[in-house]
Structure 1
């Protein structure tokens, strides 16, 4: 293989991340059946002795000497066949299946377990036969899961659980329930996984500590980690570790350390500290582990983290140890995925240092491929082939890369595995363009677009399952999802045969990107009744235009939708690098917040105006457009569009402005002033336990001024403004607007997005519960959520996601909030002007916002954009 081209050093970051079920292995008990002992099963039946050879085979299995165990078991099988001992034959066949499985001889394992079940089904009912039947079905479930047949495995383990329940074997019921949870997690059904394990935890909590309890707590912690509940994950994993230590079980201690390492690595705060802690956990897992599986997984995870932290000498020293260790893994899907993950880490290490060479990485994947073929594990084989194709992509051997990628794609599609198919479709698109940004090969251009389009369509089908709870156990959105959307838009808009069809498709992808970003921020799928944005401006507001933007590596692209016009307008691309665009926007943002700096604000505002508005200025005037709806991308979301400047006027002076996150909005309903009902909640003094927030002197005055505007206002204030009391008050009537005059904060993620109440923080996660409709008194959704005294993380472009996420959680049609901390006194004037105008004939929410901004702008004390510009309306604007 040739050396890596420097161009591709930028592409490894888009490499493939293994799913949680592949990297964070659930450590469950697997042991040979060898259990014709029916004592302690709840039946009065005698113990049945096993042959000495069976005990020998058990010892061989435990030692990992599977071929020798098979030889012994085949001899025992002949004995039972000669004696016509059906139960004995079924037990031996089940154990043969276990050993064949470990050897990777899946057809033989499948034949053995099916024969065992067929034999036992034809024996008279008895506690003995039911015990062996349960164990055989249990073994079958493990075999099915290793083959990637998670649904079948779940069904088998459910059947085994019912048998164990009849036998009153509570320990086996517990173990097989944990296995069911593993199958559910493999299927991506994380909430069902958590529910299953939570119920089991409740059942076990009053029982003495046991390894079964430790395994359940660890499995539950792993599932909570996938679901993004890191606090509860830590609680359960620490509890599992404590029990394992008390019971002096090195393997379970090692498994707990492995999971705790994954958890530490997933923490977003104090990244350096958490990474060091994760390395420590992995090393402890290596020391404690007495099986090759956990030891290798701990080493692989440590290598991956060392490479990420750019501790390259340590990584170089570690990888030869892993290479020797990984060869000792029993053949199975965990071993295959471990090798793929090892190869991925080595690829990244190769890009940051001089070794290992590509041949070494290829050899690892070749072994994994052989094992996947032996197992007849189609999903695992697809993973291996796709990553092998990626290796050849990195070395620019395009023909081989394309062949391997197509094979991986065909395999994934044969089992309808869209979650991996989209990645091979994406990879195929890159390969067809041979990695060139401009895709100079015009003959391959349509094929590349088709490949990317197929990847996008596959991703749309599973988008709800790809909500990134953390970068380790699920796809990292920014690295493994977002670039696909951007590259497809890039190709569509640079296509030599650019057409309305391309523009429409590009806009659809932009919409999907925005919705996916919101889902990623909220870590949950958004289910809601939506109305197409086009339909809104074509039928309900024909004086509105929608402006879509996307920042690409080498340019800014803008698409515009005008009312009653099926054709989209494509503005000339702004030929600036992403860095140049972001530098200008960051400077603009800083100047906007600098009170008294008018000249620089207007200069920066004019630059952005030329990018977004000037190319369509004539069309806006001809269409008599009054409202501009923006779908913004990246750093543009940090900038309040109202502050753009045309050389004479700010945009706010000419147009009402709103933000949406895609092509759909909740069915917008104009508000009628006489019907508006407001619930206003206020808090002057932040709770003592929450630091960093000042006293809000003017919130009482703000609420008083709102009352004076003539709208119907109910209040809840100060000590009465608790989460519970707020929820009760909210459900006393159908409020159109909820006005929160209290500190709030929009951080980089949902954990750091909240508003303050008298009893602490009302987090984003709690909004859906607090705002849910109860009883018969509140029968309609909230129209506006007004967040009066909120601030955002300094310059964070996720702020709009926080506002939108809060709106969605509250079930509101739109929200009004600010992009930076506001003057307490100016907010009184703003709120007064907003409510004075809202709902008047011809005054939409967006227009009411504009009039309130103008009220501040016309006041000499507040005419700088830092006072009036940060207010943004997100969602329905009518």
Structure 2
């Protein structure tokens, strides 16, 4: 392991982080510890995470692979992993470690297999994929993160690392997504370091629940009805959700948030071939890039894709729709790393927007939502899914929908794949 020197660009970045620290956010989160169930029932109000006005402390973590066959210290390794942590104070901690790409990829595949099968991740076992990946990517910097009381991480991840489900990595005591608020960016050049100065604008919501040749998404109408913004909301469902309507409405500076609930499909051939399904026809990834020009100077603060696997694409479009939203000028975007049950997805986003409406920053809103899942606050009660405060997130679930969440939604499969990209603030 090698200590790395700071480079000049980190100085300017640290100045930006310091600006966020002092001028950005007013309502902040302190995760609550030691939660327990009483008589087998959740006491939601007693377990709600606390909100406090206190110092906001973001940092940037740059994670980079470099192929280095023949240049590492062991014949068993063939790459360097460079970790650079940049604190708001300007301090920089850099590490270089030898790595076996094959072993890293094997552990990542094993973790995905466990998640896809809803298996326990065995966080108590240091040899488990969740622990092994945490040991490689996070553990060496944990003493600094804890000592400096970092609350939020912007993780700049190289190609191939964006598929890591950071939220599901464990230090043996807590999951990374429980302990930290974070976002992922493929490039710091795509990230805005100034918080939005126009909060409370309108939410623009689109959804499709019925399709030709694709499974229906029966909870999309409820999801659109239940998500909200303090500045108001306009929504378009099924036949009212057309490609032209989305592109026209999203071009208006009246809206600072765009929410799209539908199916996504990735095909070989790049952005022209990969598409979202509107209520009347497909919208290609390429079409979405038109928003960069139409929203020049007034970027969307948040774009949410409540759809199947929208955080990643294929070899030609690795970043998926979420990454494309950043390239189209959005400050932040939310997508999913894998296919998640639509009951859970809808409940997740309804809860997330509730936190956003309390002036909670984006990454913290998602952290609190994950914590609500982990601690059993998101749960089935009769035919309803109720949220952290005990009020309904979804109602009138069918018996089949109830069965899909009847055993609880605490497994990381349900919450670790929904990921924030771009600015965490």
Match for 2:336 among 796, 818, 822? 818
- Determine whether 1:577 maps to 2:100: yes
Give SS of 1:579's match. Answer: helix
- Determine whether 1:546 maps to 2:55: no
Match for 1:728 among 237, 240, 248? 248
Contact map agreement 1:670 1:844 (CA 8 A) in 2: no
Contact map agreement 2:163 2:337 (CA 8 A) in 1: yes
Q: Distance in 1 between matches of 2:323 and 2:18?
A: 27
Residues 838 and 766 of structure 1: is their aligned pair in 2 closer, same or farther, counting only changes over 3 Å?
A: same
- Determine whether 1:853 maps to 2:370: yes
- 1:14-93 alignment runs, 5 A limit: none
Report deviation, 1:787.
0.2
Contact map agreement 2:203 2:259 (CA 8 A) in 1: yes
Report deviation, 1:674.
6.7
Report deviation, 1:565.
4.7
Report the equivalent of 1:763: 284
Match for 2:258 among 738, 742, 750? 738
Give SS of 1:739's match. Answer: strand
Report deviation, 1:699.
0.3
Residues 768 and 654 of structure 1: is their aligned pair in 2 closer, same or farther, counting only changes over 3 Å?
A: same
- 1:231-310 alignment runs, 5 A limit: none
Give SS of 2:217's match. Answer: coil
Residues 543 and 800 of structure 1: is their aligned pair in 2 closer, same or farther, counting only changes over 3 Å?
A: farther
Q: Distance in 1 between matches of 2:422 and 2:124?
A: 27
Q: What's the CA shift string for 1:496-522, capped at 9, x where partnerless?
A: xx862xx528x89xxxxxxxxxxxxxx
Match for 2:219 among 693, 698, 705? 698
Report deviation, 1:789.
1.2
Contact map agreement 1:638 1:797 (CA 8 A) in 2: no
Q: Distance in 2 between matches of 1:677 and 1:648?
A: 40
Q: Distance in 2 between matches of 1:596 and 1:738?
A: 34
Residues 738 and 664 of structure 1: is their aligned pair in 2 closer, same or farther, counting only changes over 3 Å?
A: same
Report deviation, 1:800.
5.3
Which of the pair is proportionally richer in helix?
Answer: 1
- 1:212-611 alignment runs, 5 A limit: 500=5, 504=7, 533-541=13-21, 543-551=57-65, 552-553=67-68, 554-573=78-97, 575-599=98-122, 603-611=128-136
Residues 747 and 632 of structure 1: is their aligned pair in 2 closer, same or farther, counting only changes over 3 Å?
A: farther
Give SS of 1:702's match. Answer: helix
Report the equivalent of 1:862: 409
Q: Distance in 2 between matches of 1:661 and 1:840?
A: 29
Q: What's the CA shift string for 1:38-60, capped at 9, x where partnerless?
A: xxxxxxxxxxxxxxxxxxxxxxx
Residues 819 and 683 of structure 1: is their aligned pair in 2 closer, same or farther, counting only changes over 3 Å?
A: same
Residues 652 and 808 of structure 1: is their aligned pair in 2 closer, same or farther, counting only changes over 3 Å?
A: closer
Q: Distance in 1 between matches of 2:205 and 2:159?
A: 33
For structure 1, the residue ranges without an aligned partner over 5 or more in a row are 1-492, 509-530
Report deviation, 1:606.
0.8
Which of the pair is proportionally richer in strand?
Answer: 2
- 1:552-701 alignment runs, 5 A limit: 552-553=67-68, 554-573=78-97, 575-599=98-122, 603-670=128-195, 675-686=200-211, 688=212, 691=213, 693-701=214-222
Q: Distance in 1 between matches of 2:196 and 2:248?
A: 24
Report the equivalent of 2:347: 829
Give SS of 2:262's match. Answer: strand
Contact map agreement 1:727 1:770 (CA 8 A) in 2: yes
- Determine whether 1:873 maps to 2:420: yes
Report the equivalent of 2:361: 844
Structure showing greater radius of gyration is: 1
Equivalent pairs, count:
348
Report deviation, 1:710.
5.0
Q: Distance in 1 between matches of 2:337 and 2:118?
A: 15
Give SS of 1:609's match. Answer: helix
Contact map agreement 2:58 2:88 (CA 8 A) in 1: no
Residues 547 and 747 of structure 1: is their aligned pair in 2 closer, same or farther, counting only changes over 3 Å?
A: farther
Give SS of 1:680's match. Answer: strand
Report deviation, 1:562.
2.9
Q: Distance in 1 between matches of 2:317 and 2:131?
A: 23
Give SS of 2:351's match. Answer: helix
- Superposition RMSD in Å: 3.2
Residues 659 and 798 of structure 1: is their aligned pair in 2 closer, same or farther, counting only changes over 3 Å?
A: farther
Q: Distance in 2 between matches of 1:544 and 1:747?
A: 37
Bigger RCO (CA 8 Å, 6+ sep): 2
Report deviation, 1:864.
0.8
Q: Distance in 2 between matches of 1:568 and 1:800?
A: 29
Report the equivalent of 1:361: none
For structure 2, the residue ranges without an aligned partner over 5 or more in a row are 22-55, 69-77, 380-407
- 1:184-199 alignment runs, 5 A limit: none
Q: Distance in 2 between matches of 1:572 and 1:666?
A: 24
Contact map agreement 2:266 2:313 (CA 8 A) in 1: no
Contact map agreement 2:302 2:332 (CA 8 A) in 1: yes
Contact map agreement 2:153 2:180 (CA 8 A) in 1: yes
Q: Distance in 2 between matches of 1:803 and 1:725?
A: 18
Give SS of 1:849's match. Answer: helix
Contact map agreement 2:313 2:319 (CA 8 A) in 1: no
Residues 532 and 643 of structure 1: is their aligned pair in 2 closer, same or farther, counting only changes over 3 Å?
A: farther
TM-score, scaled to structure 2? 0.73
Q: Distance in 2 between matches of 1:731 and 1:567?
A: 40
